[in-house]
Amino acid sequence: MNVRGAVGCVMAAAAVVSTLGCSDGGTSRAAAVAIHDPALDALTARVEPGWWRGQGAETVEVWVCRVPADSTAPAYGGLEWRAELDPVRLTDELAPAGDYFATLSNGVYRPFFAAGGVVDLAATDGPEQCVEAALAASTTAADVVLAIADAEQAEGQPGGLGNGGDCPAAPPCPATQSRRYAYVGASDFHPEWGDRPPLDLVEHELGHTLGLVHSGYDPTAPQPYTSALDVMSNSAAPRDTQPDRRDAPGTLAIQRVIAGWLDLASLAVVPSGGATVALSPSAGTDGVRGLVLPVDDLSFLTVELLPAAGLDAHLPHGGGVAVHLVALGDDGIRIDPLAGVPADTLLTEGGMWNGFGWSVTVDARWRVTVAQAGA
C-alpha cells in the first residue's frame, strides 16, 4: 500500500477549483497539482518511522497479573474482588477485537491473540509492575503484550495504559525489545458481562500500541474523553445508544494517517481560493476521504464525512461532517474537535462552521464548500 503518495484530487488555481472528486475512477489525479501543507508534511515525517506497526498480522500475547488480596497499590484501591481470568479463555473473548481492527484499517491490519501466562504481583505492585512482569515473561513471538490485572481499577484511576514503543534495530521486533504493550484492569471482565465482555477499552489501549493518540481529550471535564467519533476518545460511546455494542467507535482520517492506513492521495489540501468537494466517508476506500485546511506551519484543520454506518452506526441523525484542529507540539500531536462534539453537532445538509480563517458549508449529497472566512 502506498501510504506516502502525493496529495491528490485538488486543482491549484481557484478559478478552476469548483468541484473536486475522484468519482471518475481517479483520472482527475493525473491532471491534479499536488498542494502540500507544511504542517501535514511535518506530521507525516514525524509518524512515518512508526508505520512498521499495524501492518499485516501481529501477535498480541495475553498475560494475566494476579493482584494479591493484601495489595496496597493505589491503582487497586483496596478493592477485594478478583476476576477468574485464564489467558487461554481470554484469547477467545478478545478475538472480536481482531475483527474490529481489520475493519478499522480496511484490512491492512489484524491482531491475533495468543495465550501468554500468569504472573504474580507483590503487595505494592501496580499496573506498571504488571506490565514489566508480563514483558519480561513474554516470548519472542509477541509483537505486543496485553497485560490484564485480575483486580479492578479504583475510582479515579486510569482504566488502562498503552505504549507504541520503538524498535532499537530494524523493525519489526518483539515486544521484549520494542516495549509495545497495553494494560487494562478487570472491570470489563466482570461476570455480569457474561461471555461478551466490552472490548472498547482494550481496543483503545491497543490503539496506543499503533501510535494512535488521544482526540477530544479535556482533562478538566467530568468525562475527559469527550468525543463519540474516535476509539481514541470516548471508546464506550456506542453503548450509550446501542447497549448491546461491545466494540469502540471508528476513528478519524488523521488517526489513519498516523497508523499508515490511509493513502495521502485520498486527502485534498484546499488552496487559499477555496473549493467545493464531494466528500466520501473517511472510513471508506474511494474518493476524497478528507480535506486539509492549512492554518500555520504546525497546525491544520481536517474536514471529513462520518456517516452513521458500520463502526459509526451509533452516531445520531445519520452522522455528518466533522471538523478537527490538528496541532503538532514538542509533547506530541493534539487533535481537538471543532464540529462533531457532542455528536449531534456533526454538520449535516445546510450546516455551517467558521473558524481559524475558514468557513465550511455542507450541501446536499455531502458536497462541502470551503472558503476563507470573509471571502
Measured distance between the N- and C-terminal CA atoms of the chain, rounded to whole angstroms: 38
301 and 202 within one domain:
no
Task: Check whether residue 95 and residue 165 sit in a common domain.
Answer: yes
> Which structural domain range is residue 357 located in?
28-50+263-372
The answer to the question of residue 258 being in a domain is: no
CA separation for the pair 284, 280 (Å, rounded): 7
* Paired residues of 329 in beta bridges: 332
- For residue 324, is it within any domain? yes
My answer on whether 296 and 341 are in the same domain is yes
> 200 and 81 in one domain?
yes
Cell of 16: 478552476
Residues 322 and 357 in one domain: yes
Q: Which of 191, 202, 158 is nearest to 81 (CA)?
A: 191
Cβ distance 278 to 363 under 8 Å? no
For 267-294, write each residue's pLDDT tens digit.
999 999 999 999 999 999 999 999 999 9
Proportion of the chain above pLDDT 70, given as a percent:
90
What cell does 45 get?
515525517
Short-list 339, 300, 301, CA closest to 319: 339
**Same domain as 68, residue 43:** no
All cell numbers assigned to 361: 458549508
**Can you name the residues that pair with 5 across neighbouring β-strands?**
none
The three-state DSSP-derived secondary structure of 5-68 is CCCCCCCCCCCCCCCECCCCCCCHHHHCCCCCCHHHHHHHHHHHHHCCCCCEEEEEEEEEEECC
> Across-strand partners of 269?
292
Alpha carbons within 13 angstroms on the beta-carbon side of residue 273 total: 11
**Same domain as 173, residue 81:** yes
- Give yes or no for residue 205 having a pLDDT over 60: yes
* pLDDT score of 357: 96
Q: Are 312 and 365 members of one domain? A: yes
pLDDT band at 2 (very low <50, low <70, confident <90, very high): very low
What CATH number should be reported for the domain holding residue 131?
Answer: 3.40.390
Residue 141, in any domain of the structure: yes
* Cβ atoms of 109 and 58 closer than 8 Å: yes
Distance of CA 127 to the CA centre of its chain: 23
Query: Is residue 227 pLDDT above 90, yes or no?
Result: yes
Report how many domains make up the chain.
Answer: 2
12-55 pLDDT, tens digit per residue, is 222 223 334 433 333 222 223 346 899 999 999 999 999 999 99
Kindly state the cell numbers that stand for 106: 480496511
Do residues 144 and 42 both lie within one domain? no
User: Quick one: 76 and 180 in the same domain?
Assistant: yes
| Pair type for strands 181-184 and 144-149 | parallel
72 domain-assigned: yes
Helix, strand and coil content of the chain, in percent to the nearest 5, comes to 25, 30, 45
